[in-house]
Amino acid sequence: MARDTDMPTDNKRQHTRYSTSLPVAFNARRSGSERSAYLNNISISGMSFNSMIPLETGTVIMLHFPVSKPVFSTPGLVVWCRKMAFQYGIGVGFIDVDEEFRLRMVEVVRSIDKYRKQELRTGPHCFGSGRRARVD
């Protein structure tokens, strides 16, 4: 999987970040209202996504990855928030979860993203026939 090349080159990352655009839901623990976003990238130490609302650095949020069954949920700490043209870039570090869980979560996200991209390239298929499904 390709590394995220949009990150500054002077930023020495400990873990490889993988580009993805899968959905994620989040809510601040104290507010309770859930928001939806799309991931920019993910690694075993954290992730980034774009949000229509700013999040204060140091805020603990709950992240939900509805792209898998069961849904992955994990707490995260907002480590940066940057104003962009019409939204905010949010960087989140994973907290309170062991490395095995984080590795599994990243692998599931990468697998789903790979499958989704393959389906976009080849279109839907009929199971068992080896032929493409007809879409009218």
pLDDT, position 81: 96
pLDDT, position 74: 86
Q: Mean pLDDT of all residues in the chain?
A: 77
- Is-contact 57 28, C-beta < 8 A? no
Mean pLDDT along residues 21-44 = 84
Using CA atoms, how far residue 18 sits from 1, 38, 60, in Å, is 7, 14, 23
pLDDT, position 22: 83
Q: Which residues contact 54 (CB under 8 A, 6 or more apart)?
A: 81, 83, 88
Name the more confident of 114 and 29. 114
Identify the bridge partners of residue 13 per DSSP, sorted by sequence position. Answer: none
Cβ atoms within 10 A of the Cβ of 89, count?
16
Nearest Cα to 13, choosing from 36, 45, 40? 45
pTM above 0.75, yes or no: no
Which span out of 12-21, 36-45, 80-89, 101-110 was modeled with the highest average pLDDT?
Answer: 80-89
Question: Predicted confidence band at 12 (pLDDT cuts at 50, 70, 90)?
Answer: low
Mean pLDDT along residues 60-71 = 78
* Rounded Cα–Cα distance for residues 21 and 130 (Å): 28
Which helix (H) or strand (E) element contains residue 118? helix 99-122
Mean pLDDT along residues 45-53 = 91
Identify the bridge partners of residue 63 per DSSP, sorted by sequence position. Answer: 26, 74
Question: Predicted confidence band at 67 (pLDDT cuts at 50, 70, 90)?
Answer: low
Amino acid in position 8: P
Parallel, antiparallel or unpaired: strands 35-42 and 60-65:
unpaired
Amino acid in position 18: Y
